[in-house]
Amino acid sequence: MNKRQIVLSVNGRDHELWVLPSDTLLDALHDELGLADVRYGCGEGVCGTCTVLLDGEPTSGCLILAVQAAGHEVTTLRGLMGPGEAMHPLQECFLRRGAAQCGFCTPGMVLTSLDLVRRRGRPSREEIRYALVGNLCRCTGYTKILDAVEEYADAVAAGSPPEAVS
Task: Give the interface with another protein as residue ranges (CB under 8 A).
Answer: 1, 20-24, 27, 31, 40, 43-46, 48, 51, 54, 57-60, 62-65, 67-68, 112, 115-116, 129-131, 133-135
Query: Which amino acid, residue 10?
Result: V
Q: How many residues does the chain have?
A: 166
Q: Which is nearer to another protein, 11 or 112 (CB)?
A: 112
Least separation, in Å, of the C-beta of 96 and another protein?
25
Contact assessment for residue 23 and residue 66, using Cβ atoms and an 8 Å cutoff? yes
Q: How far is the CB of 80 from another protein (least distance, A)?
A: 17
Decide whether 58 or 89 has the Cβ nearer to another protein: 58
- Which of 63/81 has CB closer to another protein? 63
Pairing of the two strands 73-75 and 51-54: antiparallel
Closest distance to another protein from the beta carbon of 76 (Å): 14
How far is Cα 50 from Cα 31, in angstroms, rounded to an integer? 12
Q: Cα separation of 91 and 100, whole Å?
A: 9
